[in-house]
Structure 1
């Protein structure tokens, strides 16, 4: 069974890459476990709390480097919602 940290990493990997749940790399644990945690955490608000608390703790621990680097506007806010499936064109 995937640990919580492993599940979070798997969820974030899926958000970043748009990979289908069943194609999630094994290093994140069983895909069904990661999916189930994502589903439960999204429904009960845990995902949003993780996004609010996580950066604050990292900053307090000195793990965040604040600088003048900017991120492209296209990056947008971080979300625990899955990325949309890519559009496939028919040839």
Structure 2
């Protein structure tokens, strides 16, 4: 899965995945699908996959927030003093 670079896009994906997760849970809880049917297994697999995606997106969101709070400023190579071993 390709992770987005923007925080807004990440939040949008999290929201969409949560909505799909909620819909799948509602279908499974409704009792209209037999627990031993192939459709049930496919929904369970999709639900597990969405859960993994949500965990990855949440981690990515925290990383983006952390990077936004601590702006990246590369060091000027001329300012770095390298100790010389004698």
TM-score under structure 1 length normalisation: 0.27
Q: Determine which structure has more spread, i.e. the larger CA radius of gyration.
A: 2
TM-score under structure 2 length normalisation: 0.28
Which has the larger share of helix?
A: 2
